[in-house]
Structure 1
Amino acid sequence: MYIRPALVPLSAVAALALLLSGCAGSDGDAGGTAEGAERVSPLSEYLDAVYGGELSPEEQERQFAEEQARIEELVAQCMQDQGFEYTPNTASGTFVSGGESEWEPDDRDWVAQYGYGAVTSPFTEEPVPEEEFVDPNADYVASLSESEQTAFYEALHGPVPDEDELAEDGSYEYDWTTAGCQGAAQHEVAGEDPSQSEEFEPLFEAIDELYTSTASWPGMAELDGEWAACMDAAGHGGHATQMDAQNSVYEEMNEIYESVGTSEDGVPTGEPDQAALDALAEREVELALADLDCREEVDYRDRSAEITREVEQQFIDDHQAELDALVAAAERD
Structure 2
Amino acid sequence: MSGPDAADDEGGPPGLTAAELDLLTRSGSYARGERALRRAESELIAVCMADKGFPYRAGRSASAPQSYEEQLLGMDERRKRGYGLYAQYLDSPGGGEKREGGEPLAPGMENDAYVAQLSEAEAEKYVYALRGDASDRREMRLPDDQTVTFSGKGCEAVSRQELYGSLDDWAASEHVPQILNNSLTDRVTEDPEYAAAMRNWKECMDAKGYSYEDPDDAYRKLKGEYGERGATRDMRKREIEVATDDGTCARKARVPDTVLSLRRQHAESLPATDKRDLRQLTDIWEAAATHARELTE
Q: Which structure shows the bigger proportion of residues in strand conformation? A: 2
Give the greater-gyration-radius structure (CA): 1
Normalized against structure 1, the TM-score is what? Answer: 0.45
**Structure with more contact order per residue of length (Cα contacts < 8 Å, sep ≥ 6):** 2
Q: Which structure shows the bigger proportion of residues in helix conformation? A: 2
